[in-house]
Structure 1
Amino acid sequence: MAKLTRREEAAHRRACELLALPRPLTDDEAMQVLEDWHEAASMDRAARGAYFTPMEMAYDFRLNVHGGRVIDLCAGTGRLAWWARDKWLRRANGEPPRELVCVERNRLYVEVGRRVLPEATWICGDVFDVPGMGLGRFDCAISNPPFGPITARAGSAPRYSGDRFEYHVIDLAADLARRGVFVIPQGSAPFRISGGPYREQTSRELERFHAETGIRMDCGVGIDTTHYEGWRGVSPATEIVTCDFTERETPAAPPAPGAAVRPAGGQMELFAALA
C-alpha cells in the first residue's frame, strides 16, 4: 500500500466500509466513497498515472456536457460521470436521465464505480478497444485521461501518430461522439485560461495533432482549474477543453512510408487524472 496520511487512511477505511454494505448506496454515501476512496491505497499511482479529478472540478466540468448519451473514457471510479449525469437538473427540466457508459481498464476502479454509479454501464477494458464494441454513437465523450507519453499503454488513435496519450484519447473520441470535453495538461491546450488572463498558445505537438486529426479545441464555458484542490500530492497545470467533432477539418494526408516525421516536442511529466 502506498503511504497515506492518517487522515487519508481513516477516510479510505470508511469508504471501504460503505462499499462493503449489503445494500445499494445512497447518494450521500456514494459521494462520500468518491471523495474518500484513495487511489494510492492499492497501487503505485505514480507508476500507473492515477490521479482522480477533484470533486469540485468534476462538478463544474459537467457544465460543458450536453446530450443524452455520454461515454466516459478512462473513467476511474466515476467522478466525472457522477456529476455528468446531472440528474437533479435534468429531472427539474423534465428531461430523461442520461445514458452513461464508463470505460476503465483497472478492475478495482470498476468495482468501486459499479457500486457508486450502478445506473451506468461499466466496461472493464482498454479505451482503444471501444470502437469495436458496437456501442453506437454518443452525444458527448468525456475524459480526464492519463497525461504524457503513451509508451506504457497499448493501442493507438486512428489518426494522431504522436506520443501524447491525451491526444490519442481525444482523437479516439472523435469517432465515438459528436462532441467531447476533456481535462488535459495546460501545455497540450491551444490556450491558457487557468491562473491568469486568457492567451493562445501552440507547440509542435499541438500543430501535429491538429494537422493529423483536423480537431480543434475550445475553452467551453471557461473554467479556471487553479481554483480547485484535491489532486492528492500533485499540482498539475490543466485546462478543460471542448471539441465539436462535427466540425472537424479534413486532416492532412499521412506521410509516405519511410518519410521523415517531425519529432514531438519536449517530454511532458507523466501526470494523470482518472475521473
Structure 2
Amino acid sequence: MIENWQESARHINSIAGAFFTPWSLARDFAIEVPAGRMIDLCAGMGTLSLARWWRGQFTQHDRISEVVCVEANPDYAAVGRKLLPEARWIVGDVFDLPTDLGHFDAAISNPPFGIVKRTRSAPRFTGRPFEIHVIDIASDLADWGAFIIPQASAPFRYSGCPAGGWPATRRDGFGSGYEDCPGELHATLLAQTGIVMQPNCGIDTALCQQEWHGVSPLCEVVICDFVEARARRAPPPAEQSDLFAMAAE
C-alpha cells in the first residue's frame, strides 16, 4: 500500500510542495533517529514514522516509545491512521501545534520543499524555504532532529555525487566523502536559531531518486543537535553578562 498509493490522485501536490518519501529512503532514514518519543512534522501518511517504528520492534533498546504525527491534509492522515494506528495523529498546521505535546527525543520530517505558502513563520527563522521553518519549529520540541530537504538547502553535497562529492576522496583515497558548501542560508539559520545542519551517516538519496511519485528530487538527509542549538541561542548568565560589560568599559 505504501509504494502503490498515489497521493496526487485527489490533490495537486505540486502546489503544496508535498511528495511522499519512497519506502527505501524511509528505511535508510530510520538509522538516524534515536529511540524514545518521536514527533513527525508534515507527516503525510506517516512513511518515515512507520519505517522507524518497525525498525524499533526488533530490539528493545531501540524502540520508539511514542509517536505523534502532525499532518494538515485529512486524507493523508486517514491513510496514516491505517498504516500506523499506534501513533497519535493530529490533523493540523505545524505552525499552530497543540500546547500539550510535551518534549520529544527526536523530531523528523520530510516537509514541503521550497517557497510554499504558509500560515505564519517559525519562531526565529525569517527566510523563505518552508523546510527550514519546519526545522526551526522542531528545535523547540525535541533534542535531536533528522530531516529530508532539497540538496540546494543543505550545507553539503553527498547524494548523487561521484565518490560522495569530494574529489579528494577519489584522488587520494581519504576524506569524509562530503563536500562542504555552506552559504548565506546556513549563516542566517545559525545566527537566528543556533541550528547547524550536519551530514548523516552516509545516505545517498539519489539511489531512490526515481521512486518518488511524479517528481525526482535530489535531496539530502540532514541531522541537527537541538540541545546544542538551544544552548547557542540562550542568553548568557547574568554574572557572565556583567563580566562582558566590565570588560567593555
**Fold in common (TM above 0.5):** yes
Q: CA deviation at 1:47?
A: 1.5
Aligned to 2:119: 154
Q: Distance in 2 between matches of 1:252 and 1:90?
A: 37
Deviations 1:95-149 (A, max 9, x none): 655311000000100111111111100000001112x421100000000000111
What is the CA-CA distance between 1:252 and the residue it aligns to? 10
Aligned residues: 218
Q: How does 1:131-210 map to 2 (within 5 A)?
A: 132-150=98-116, 152-196=117-161, 197=165, 198-210=178-190
User: 1:233 deviation in Å?
Assistant: 2.6
State whether residues 29 and 221 of structure 2, in contact with CA within 8 Å, keep that contact through their aligned partners in structure 1.
yes
Structure 1 residues 39-61: Cα deviation after superposition (integer angstroms, max 9, x where no partner):
11001111122211111000100
2:59 paired residue among 87, 92, 104: 92
Q: Is the 8 A contact 1:99 1:120 kept in 2?
A: yes
Please give the alpha-carbon distance, in whole angstroms, between the structure 2 residues aligned to 1:149 and 1:252: 29
The Cα RMSD (Å) is 1.8
C-alpha distance in 1 between matches for 2:63 and 2:180: 38
Between the aligned partners of 2:14 and 2:64, the Cα distance in structure 1 is 35
Amino acid at match of 1:54: P
Q: Identity, % of aligned pairs? A: 49
Looking at structure 1, the residues matched to 214 and 63 of structure 2 have their Cα atoms a distance apart, in angstroms, of: 38
Counterpart of 1:46 in structure 2 is: 14
Which secondary structure state, in structure 1, belongs to the residue aligned with residue 232 of structure 2? Answer: coil
> Structure 1 residues 51, 226: closer, same or farther in 2, change over 3 A?
same
2:126 maps to a residue whose letter is S
- For 1:203-222, list aligned pairs within 5 A: 203-222=183-202
Residues 192 and 118 of structure 1: CA distance in aligned 2, closer, same or farther (over 3 Å): same
User: Displacement of 1:86 after TM fit?
Assistant: 2.9
- Residue 34 of structure 1, CA deviation: 1.4
| 1:217-256 paired onto structure 2 within 5 Å | 217-228=197-208, 229-248=210-229, 250-251=232-233
Q: Which amino acid aligns with 1:123?
A: I
- Unaligned stretches of 5+ in structure 1? 1-32, 254-275
Return the TM-score normalized by structure 1: 0.75
Structure 2: 5+ residue runs without aligned partners? 166-177, 236-249
TM-score using structure 2 length:
0.83
Task: Specify the alignment match of 2:68 in structure 1.
Answer: 101
